[in-house]
């Protein structure tokens, strides 16, 4: 049996704990011969016990990856026009994932802006659909191992708790009061304060 990577070991946390731990992590995207690097600044947690989670209804073709091991991509299409990117967390069978809500561009800023129709500043990647467009993330990355190119996740030192804002999630109709949205306090790329 192959050894579990440090990334995957770290992500074997509950969705809310993993959502906090992912803040400050770096996503590296190799797309069309270009390298993009971004810092995760906002996340939301979801698991099978959560009425707002896709996994709440059990394993389906859409949610199967959420019930697998941690450290894989769960990418889905929403509203008939946008992709959203999640990191699978927890243990096998948990049905948990963390939605990446916003990222701060570090490398490839100009190219990301062009992918977003020449949008500049926080509008490049301050929302789940925006960051997927800027990074070229779509359904082809569903189930992708986040230890490997073309989309890798590198953990960075944990953000101190006093620098993390904890609040309710956005754009859901169930479990609206659950405090499972986390963001780096004061970061201009956060989607909504």
Report the candidate in 47, 50, 49, 59 with the shortest Cα–Cα distance to residue 90: 47
Q: Is the pLDDT of residue 1 over 60?
A: no
Rounded Cα gap, residues 29 and 26, in angstroms? 10
Report the candidate in 31, 35, 22 with the shortest Cα–Cα distance to residue 70: 22
pTM of this prediction exceeds 0.75: yes
pLDDT in tens, 92-109: 989 999 999 999 999 999
- How many other CB atoms sit within 10 Å of the CB of residue 2? 4
What architecture does CATH give domain 6-184?
Answer: Roll (3.10)
User: Where residue 184 falls among pLDDT bands split at 50, 70, 90?
Assistant: very high
Counting every residue written for the chain, the total comes to: 193
The mean of the pLDDT values for the chain is 92
């Amino acid at each position: 049996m192959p050894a579990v990577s440090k990334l995957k070991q770290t992500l074997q946390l509950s969705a809310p704990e993993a959502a906090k731990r992912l803040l400050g992590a770096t996503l590296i995207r190799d797309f069309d011969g270009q390298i993009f690097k971004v810092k995760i600044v906002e996340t939301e947690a979801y698991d099978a016990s959560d009425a707002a989670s896709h996994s709440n209804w059990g394993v389906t073709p859409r949610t199967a990856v959420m019930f697998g091991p941690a450290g894989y991509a769960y990418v889905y299409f929403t509203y008939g026009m946008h992709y959203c990117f999640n990191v699978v967390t927890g243990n096998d069978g948990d049905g948990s994932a963390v939605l990446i809500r916003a990222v701060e561009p570090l490398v490839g800023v100009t190219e990301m802006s062009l992918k977003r129709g020449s949008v500049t500043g926080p509008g490049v990647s301050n929302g789940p659909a925006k960051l997927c467009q800027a990074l070229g993330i779509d359904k082809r990355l569903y189930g992708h191992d986040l230890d490997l190119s073309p989309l890798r996740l590198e953990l960075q030192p944990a953000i101190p708790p006093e620098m993390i804002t904890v609040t309710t999630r956005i754009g859901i109709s169930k479990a609206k009061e659950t405090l499972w949205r986390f963001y780096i306090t004061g970061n201009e790329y956060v989607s909504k304060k």
